[in-house]
Amino acid sequence: MTTKRSSTALAIALSLSFFAAGCKKKIAAPPAPAKPAPVETAKPKTTVARPIIRFFTAEPTSIERGQASSLKWEIVGADSASVNQGIGSIGTGANIAGNRSVFPSSTTTYTLTARNAGGEASESVTVNVTAPPTKTVTTPAPAKASFSEVIARDINDVFFDFDKSDLREDARNTLTQNADKLKAIFRDYPNGTLTLEGHADERGSAEYNLGLGDRRAIAAKEFLTQLGVSADRLRTLSYGKERPQCTDNNEGCWQKNRRVHFTGQ
């Protein structure tokens, strides 16, 4: 279980970083804009000073993934300025000032480049991104879901034909999946007990349906134990027709009620 779960986590982490890297590559190459080529025709190069980047900052410089950092800049004497990482042009003219919020998903270095006829100047800031500490994807255990929550989330009901407790094809498939999940869940939660509730639709008598619900729960329990789920963690409980999940008077509703439902304690 732990191995399976951590490998999933690894896969997610990997794909995230691929994504981030992919982003960087694609957008990291915005054509260095406004080639200074025509400059030579204008004036002798000596007369133009290069642009001055008064400041280029990130605030804060460390964030958790999903949070924002604010880039701020002020440039004088530039014809144009741009920031890489997909931000692009940030203005033209002698005085360029501004800011922009960024949401990098991993640590990213932003480089501002300002140009004029006299040349170019650049400045870089790095925003450090850390993973949020509580997210389940990467962190193990401490605030994990309770046993009953996991059962409610991962273990599916199985359904029956009218007046029958035989396991249909779909019920066997569902139980097989449930068995795999249960083995893992039981390892994770050594003290949990699973109750198999047997239910029936409203049409038969309450007395007969109580016996029928019991049979359905026992049939599901026997199937699970044959697949290696430990029997002493399973208990059956028939409700017959006393606790329907649906009270309409049609087959769709009756089918919903002819079921074994799983709850964790």
Partner 1 sequence: MKKLLLLLTATALFAQQRPDIIGQIVGTQKAAIAIADMRGAGRAAEQTAAVNSTIFRDIEDAAIFKMAPKSMYPLKVPQRPQDSRKPLQYDPNNRNADPWLMDWSEPPVNADYLAFGYTAEQDGQLVLFGWLFNVRQPDVAAAQVIGKLYFGPMDEAGARKVAHEFAADILKQFGVESLAGSKVYYVSNRSGHKEIWSMDYDGGNQKQVTSYSTITTMPSVSPDSTRLAFTSWTPNGPQILVHSLETLRRIPFYNPRAGVNQNASYTPDGKQMVFSSSVSGYSQLYIANADGSNLKRITQTRVVEVEPKVNPKTGNDIVFVSGRSGVSPQLYRMNIEGADVQRLTTGEGQATNPSWNPQGTHVAFAWTRGYDPGNFNIFVMDVATGNYVQLTSGAGRNENPTWAPDGKHIVFASDRGGRMQIWSMLADGTQLRQLTSSGINEKPVWSK
Binding site for partner 1 (CB under 8 A): 162-163, 202-208, 210-212, 214-215, 217-218, 236-240, 242-243
- Closest CB to partner 1 among residues 120, 222: 222
Q: In what order do the strands lie in the sheet with 80-83?
A: 62-64, 119-130, 108-116, 80-83, 88-92
- Closest CB to partner 1 among residues 115, 216: 216
Report the nearest approach of partner 1 to the CB of residue 176 (Å). Answer: 22
Question: What's the Cα-to-Cα distance from 174 to each of 24, 42, 171, 260, rounded to whole Å?
Answer: 43, 78, 5, 11
- Closest CB to partner 1 among residues 192, 204: 204
3-state DSSP assignment of residue 32: coil
Report the nearest approach of partner 1 to the CB of residue 203 (Å). Answer: 3
Q: Specify whether the CB–CB gap between 211 and 170 falls below 8 A.
A: no
Report the nearest approach of partner 1 to the CB of residue 243 (Å). Answer: 8
Report the nearest approach of partner 1 to the CB of residue 202 (Å). Answer: 7
- Closest CB to partner 1 among residues 144, 243: 243
CA-CA-CA-CA dihedral for 166, 171, 173, 175, to nearest 10 = -90
DSSP character string of 116-144: ETTEEEEEEEEEEEE--TT-TTTS-STTP
Report the nearest approach of partner 1 to the CB of residue 200 (Å). Answer: 11
Beta bridge partners of 122: 113
- Closest CB to partner 1 among residues 84, 236: 236
Q: What span, in angstroms and rounded, lies between the C-alpha atoms of 124 and 117?
A: 21
